[in-house]
A = this chain, B = another copy of it.
């Protein structure tokens, strides 16, 4: 079904870059960084490759809020988003896929997956006292 995929230096660079990052950069951040190695790369190429890679399941596309972010780690894991600084970090926690069963209980369609992330204030911002008591 899927067309044959040829390798490209740009795509390799995108994957390589994503793997070096623990945060989850946006297309624009990725663009800026790939540009260091390929000064003529275009944003269009970045988007095309990110779409291709996430369609193939090689990377994750996170559509949490504002611009989409990308994650090279496709293993089951969860994210935390700081309300103050907006940073997206990984959470170490046991899988919670049992919630799919809970959700399926009184639902007629088919539930394939859940998208779950947590929001709050990260350690760094808590210390800064940036948290103005909401």
Contacts and interface: CB of A to CB of B under 8 A. Distances in A.
Interface of A: 63-66, 78, 80, 82-83, 91-94, 96, 99-100, 102-103, 105-126, 131
Contacts of A91: 103, 106-107
A108 B93 contact: no
B112 A114 contact: no
A102 B107 CA distance: 25
Nearest to A82: B109
Given A64-B63, A99-B99, A111-B80, A105 B119 contact: no
Identical subunits present: 2
B83 A107 contact: no
Contacts of A121: 109-110, 112
Contacts of A113: 118-120
B112 A100 contact: no
Given A92-B106, A109-B121, A112-B119, 13 more contacts: A63-B65, A80-B109, A93-B105, A96-B102, A99-B116, A103-B118, A110-B126, A111-B118, A111-B120, A113-B120, A114-B118, A115-B115, A115-B117
